[in-house]
Amino acid sequence: MIKKHIPNLITLLNLLCGSIAVVLTFQNELVMATAFVFLGIFLDFFDGIAARVLDARSELGLQLDSLADLVTSGLVPSLVVFQLINHTFFENNANDHTEWNQHFLDFNFDFSPYALFAFLIVMGSAYRLANFNVDDRQTTSFRGIPTPANAMMIMSLPLILEFQSTAAVRDFILNPTFLIVLSIFSCWLLNSGIPIFAFKFKNLNWKENWFRFVFVIIAALALIFLKFIALPFIILAYVCFSLLMRKELIE
């Protein structure tokens, strides 16, 4: 039946958004790339709802969802951090390219070798997604932060730089040490094994879902008052809130 293919079509649209974001990232259009990643994350959330409503969940859909997430929520954030690290070296070493212009045999690498740390994000995402597909514990909660949440934390950086930039903010974000540490921390966070609650509402009962409702309200207020700069703190609060609920999630 056609309805069985609707969730997979939505997942493929997520992959399309991620693919467009890859091209935009190569063109240094990081804000537009972020917009497509966020659209892809919305579609990723919506395809799961569609699968449950249409009773169209399948092993194919599970695998396809992870493949799409690897591009949209794994590869694109890696490329964004890669571009940001490179930017710091181009900006700080405008007259001395010896730091980033590396020669090996006959190849000319016009990027900082430190930018390669950014690919820890996509590697960590791939491992996390593969582990999710074979881990039967991750049905009602996650082990390690989900790739879309990690992507939102990283993709908030271009938005902050574009719309809420100050000298202090730029100095903090456009710092290669910060970006490298962020890449390592991101890879760890994805595969940390920390129980993380999922936004899967079986019903709207307050007693069963109070922590989800409270978190959504706090996140909404933070976005209203702090705008884009709230995003990384919301993701970190997501982890901290899950740690507080650790006993309930394990049980």
The predicted pLDDT at position 171 comes to: 94
Per-residue pLDDT of the chain (251 residues; tens, 9 = 90+): 677 889 999 999 999 999 999 999 999 999 999 999 999 999 999 888 888 888 888 888 889 999 999 999 999 999 999 999 998 877 655 444 444 444 444 556 678 889 999 999 999 999 999 999 988 777 677 889 999 999 999 999 999 999 999 999 999 999 999 999 999 999 999 999 889 988 766 666 777 778 888 899 999 999 999 999 999 999 999 999 888 877 666 55
HSE, side-chain direction, 13 A CA sphere, residue 61: 22
Q: Which residue range(s) make up the domain with 164?
A: 2-250
Domain count, the chain: 1
The predicted pLDDT at position 154 comes to: 97
C-alpha to C-alpha distance for 140 and 136, rounded to whole angstroms: 10
- 28 φ/ψ sector (left φ>0, alpha ψ -120 to 50, else beta): left
The predicted pLDDT at position 221 comes to: 95
Residue 187: CATH number of its domain: 1.20.120.1760
Instruction: List C-alpha distances in Å: 205 to 43, 209, 211, 213, 242.
Output: 25, 6, 11, 10, 19
